[in-house]
Structure formats: C-alpha cells, structure tokens
C-alpha cells in the first residue's frame, strides 16, 4: 500500500466529517436532540465545544491549536518513517490524520468544534457517553488499530523482512556466525591452533623454495 493512500483516507475522513457537521449546523438548532435508535440509546444532539476529543477542556484555544499542529507534524513525520509498513498502520494513520484535521479545521475557522453523536450506555459503564463527532471516531479507531499493530504484529513484520533479506545471501553469513557462537572454548582453541600450524607449515615451505 503506497503512502499516498494515507492522505486519500485522511481526505475522505475530513470531507465526511465536515459535511456531517455542516448538515447538523444547517438543519438543527443548538442543543436540539433528535432520537434515532430508541428514545435514549442513540440521539443526534447538536452541541459546540471548545475542548479536545469528546469535549474535554484542556487549555485555551491557542494552546489547543498549537497541540493539534504539533500532533499533525508528528503524524506526517511518522508517515514518512512507515513508508515500508503494511496496510493496517497506514490505514490507521490516515484515519488519525483526517480526524485531527477535521477538528482542527473547526477550531481554526469557528473557534469551537461541532459534536452531534450522542449515545447512552448502561449506567454500569458510564452514565452517558460524551457527545462526539466523526473526527473523534476516526482518531479513536485509528489509534486502536495502530496500538494493536504495534503491540502484536510489528515485531512479526520486522522478522519477516529480515527473513526476506536473508534470502539474498545473508543466511550463509548468519549461519557461520551462529556456528562460531555455538563453539565451545576447547573447539575454538583447537581450531586456532590448527590455523597456526597451517600458517607455520606454509612459512617453512616458502623458506624451502628459497
């Protein structure tokens, strides 16, 4: 999967996020809540917040914009570093990048973020889930995929690359190193002595020729 697909996925997420927010702003009034599934389980509730993901307040508007820009720069650097990675982490980075840009666009253009996805889970989990948007969802799904990949699959992918590289002739070198490492001190001493004797004999032969 080529790196440009990361930006394609990010652009799709950004477009969907901004389009759904525009629909909410133009078809609902602030704090309006419309049931979708059941009376309370899933509602469309239009709110605006100045916080970060899930409406959490942390610092002012300039600080949040600065943090978002730093996160985007880090993502772009990370995308470059993972140019040879498989598809899963690239899809994750595309989701995170699109979500970050989606909320950043709101904060930059309007000073606050539009949220409208409103779920009510059983009280044993949480009294009511914070209202969020598609950008929040994309960031969370992307982070989940990326963490799962890094924890369970990253080392396997690196090992696979090492084995693939070994097919170009590296195994012979690898085997010789392994064999040397497995020698006992006595075997190593005998081999060193044999090499010394061979060298001495070759020297005597050269002197005899002279």
pLDDT per position as a tens digit, 7-32: 999 999 999 999 999 999 999 999 99
For residues 153 and 97, the model is more confident at: 97
Cα 87 from Cα 112, distance rounded (Å) = 33
- Please compute the mean of the pLDDT values over residues 179-190 and round it to a whole number: 52
pTM: 0.67
Task: Give the pLDDT score at 115.
Answer: 95
Each residue's pLDDT tens digit, 110-165: 888 999 999 987 765 667 788 999 999 999 999 999 999 989 887 766 656 565 55
- Alpha-carbon distance 12 to 102, whole Å? 10
Highest mean pLDDT among 11-25, 38-52, 189-203: 11-25
The residues carrying an active-site annotation are 115, 136
The CA distances from residue 136 to 16, 30, 99, 149, in Å, are 12, 19, 6, 20
Percent of the chain with pLDDT over 90: 38
Contacts of 31 (CB under 8 A, 6+ apart): 45, 46, 47
């Amino acid at each position: 999967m080529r790196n440009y697909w990361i930006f394609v996925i990010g652009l799709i997420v950004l477009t969907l996020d901004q389009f759904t927010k525009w629909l909410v702003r133009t078809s609902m009034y602030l704090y309006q809540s419309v049931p979708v599934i059941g009376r309370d389980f899933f509602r469309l509730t239009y709110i605006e917040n100045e916080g970060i993901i899930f409406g959490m307040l942390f610092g002012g508007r300039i600080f949040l914009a600065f943090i978002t820009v730093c996160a985007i720069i880090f993502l772009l650097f990370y995308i470059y570093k993972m140019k040879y990675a498989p598809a899963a982490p690239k899809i994750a980075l595309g989701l995170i990048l699109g979500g970050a840009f989606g909320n950043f666009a709101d904060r930059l253009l309007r000073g606050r973020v539009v949220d409208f996805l409103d779920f009510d889970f059983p009280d044993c989990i949480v009294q009511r889930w914070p209202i969020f948007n598609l950008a929040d969802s994309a960031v969370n799904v992307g982070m989940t995929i990326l963490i799962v990949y890094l924890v369970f699959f990253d080392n396997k992918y690196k090992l696979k690359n090492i084995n693939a590289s070994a097919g170009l002739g590296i195994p012979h070198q690898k085997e010789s190193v392994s064999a040397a490492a497995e020698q006992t001190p006595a075997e190593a001493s005998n081999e060193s002595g044999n090499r010394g004797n061979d060298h001495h004999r070759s020297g005597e032969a050269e002197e005899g020729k002279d």
